[in-house]
Each structure stands twice: as C-alpha cells, then as structure tokens.
C-alpha cells in the first residue's frame, strides 16, 4: 500500500490517475486492487500486488508521474480488518477515505483475576467480557482487528461510531448484573485516529501504538482519547475534558489526552509517565 500527498487534487483526477495505473500495471507485473481518497487531507492510498515497491513506483511514474511518498507491505487480511473492503469505489467521484479511528480495550487485573478464580472460571468471565464488547462493536459498525488476550482492538470508519462504541462498552460493564461471589469486570479504553500509511513500517503503526499506550494509561471504567480524536469528537458534539498529559514510550514530549465524559469530572494537570506495554 502506498500514500500520496496531493493537496488540492479532486476525486475525478484521482479516478483518472487510477485508470491510467490500470492501463500500465501489466507491463510491470503489478495488479492494482483498490484506492482510497481523503479530499479534506489531500491524501490518496493505493493497494496493489507488486513483486517489489519499485514496480509500483514505476507504474505510477509511467501512468501519470505521481510518485508515492511512502510504500509499506500489508496483508489483505489486515486491509479487510482495518479498512473493511478491497475494491474500487462504485462511484469514482465519491471514493471513501482510509482515515480510521482505532479503539483498544483492556480488562483490569486480568492476571490477578485468573489466579483468583482459576482457568475454567476465568474463561467463562472472559467470554462474558468479549460478548459485551462485541455487541457494542456490532451496534456501532466497528470491525474487530484482533483479540489481545484480555482486550480487543477495533477499527471504525467514523469517529462518532467509535466514541459511541466506547460509551456503550462501559455502559455494558456497568449494567452487568452483580452476582454473589462473582468478581467485578472493569475495562479501560483508549482511542486514536490516523491514516493507514503514516511514515511507519506497519499498517496504522503509530496510530495503533498511540491508542494502545493511551488505553494503558486510562483508569478502569474510563475512556481516554488522543488530541485528534478529541478535535473530531468536539466537532460532532461530544463532551471531552483534558486529562493529565502523558509521557508515552515511543512518543516525544508530553502527549495531550482527553477523557470522553460519561459523568461530570474535574480537570487535572501535570504530565505523568504511562505504563509501558506493547499493542500485541
């Protein structure tokens, strides 16, 4: 998959460039599968099967001269999980954007819970945990990217769907019936947003890492989001409040994060060091 930074380009121009790619692809042993266009950000993403990155560049150079800014290797499975389709737009004048919001959940105290209740009971509780989250995902039109063992990573086409899903997940755990002797299940949630090729070696690499780090820093029962998700959410009418700045591994300086409000909360300040973990 490649990324082209093309400020000012129109959907029609992108469609024409893609048709030119199709005319020249066989010469270089390349097969273009789909493209995505974000007019607001002036970014185009092309997905193709190619023997090497240079072959993909050669097609673009010969077809229209628009050389990609970045090229990364991706699997078709990852494309489907993150982006939801591998096909050209039905209407060439209205292509879809590849911009996605990534959501992570994490079950509080999963290791100690396993020790407390034993493997058999833990698997039952984990199944209940998964069902609450997956019901919210289906209702919000999210796609499960992977199960992390004690949480789920998901992708959303629309930031509003992601924020609604995060709220629904927490509401689902809050509404879980209390049973005598049954341990409480609480999750923390983190969200970030970005493009599939973002100067990283992995699909949504920095966005996934940021969402994971933010999730790690959230308290159980709370939802923290990145600054970009906050900007998009506020524009859609969501209430978000600035939380502590975070010192996140792999990210320079203090990262601003915001809490999606479910109940009134006061603002706190001062950078703190977030726990270290990987998104795997």
Could you give the CA distance from residue 140 to residue 165 in angstroms, rounded to a whole number?
A: 6
Helix/strand/coil for 213: helix
pTM greater than 0.75: yes
Buried/exposed code over 10-45 (b: 16+ C-beta within 10 A; e: otherwise): ebeebbebbebbeebbeebebebebbbbebeeebbb
Mean pLDDT of 25-49: 94
Half-sphere exposure of 105 (CA within 13 A, CB side): 34
Cβ neighbours of residue 219 closer than 8 Å, sequence gap 6 or more:
188
What's the length of the chain?
280
Distance of CA 258 to the CA centre of its chain: 17
Output Rg (C-alpha) for the chain, integer angstroms: 21
Dihedral of CA atoms 46, 50, 55, 58 in degrees, nearest 10, equals -30
* pLDDT tens track for 172-227: 999 988 776 788 899 999 999 999 997 667 899 999 999 999 999 999 999 999 99
Residue 269 pLDDT class (50, 70, 90 cuts): very low
- Domains of the chain (ranges plus CATH)? 2-83 (3.30.70.3090), 100-273 (3.30.70.1230)
Helix ranges (DSSP H) in the chain: 11-24, 53-63, 76-83, 110-117, 119-139, 159-174, 205-217, 227-235
pLDDT at 263: 57
Beta bridge partners of 241: 259
């Amino acid at each position: 998959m490649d990324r082209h930074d093309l400020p000012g380009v129109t959907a029609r121009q992108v469609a024409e460039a893609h048709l030119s790619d199709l005319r020249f692809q066989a010469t270089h042993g390349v097969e273009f599968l789909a493209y995505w266009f974000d007019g607001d950000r002036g970014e185009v993403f092309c997905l193709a099967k190619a023997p090497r990155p240079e072959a993909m560049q050669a097609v673009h150079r010969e077809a229209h001269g628009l050389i990609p800014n970045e090229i990364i290797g991706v699997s078709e499975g990852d494309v489907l999980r993150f982006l939801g389709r591998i096909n050209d737009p039905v209407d060439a004048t209205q292509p879809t954007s590849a911009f996605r919001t990534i959501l992570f959940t994490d079950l509080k105290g999963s290791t100690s819970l396993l020790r407390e209740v034993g493997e058999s009971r833990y698997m039952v509780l984990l199944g209940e945990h998964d069902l609450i989250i997956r019901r919210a995902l289906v209702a919000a039109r999210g796609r499960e990217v992977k199960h992390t063992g004690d949480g789920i990573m998901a992708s959303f086409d629309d930031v509003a769907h992601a924020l609604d899903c995060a709220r629904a997940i927490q509401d689902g755990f809050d509404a879980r019936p209390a049973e005598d002797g049954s341990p409480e299940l609480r999750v923390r949630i983190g969200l970030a947003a970005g493009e599939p090729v973002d100067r990283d070696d992995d699909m949504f690499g920095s966005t996934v890492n940021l969402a994971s780090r933010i999730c790690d820093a959230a308290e159980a029962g709370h939802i923290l989001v990145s600054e970009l998700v906050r900007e998009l959410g506020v524009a859609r009418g969501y209430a978000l409040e600035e939380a502590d700045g975070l010192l996140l591994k792999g990210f320079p300086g203090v990262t601003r994060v915001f809490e999606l409000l479910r109940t009134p909360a006061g603002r706190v300040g001062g950078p703190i060091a977030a726990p270290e973990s990987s998104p795997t």
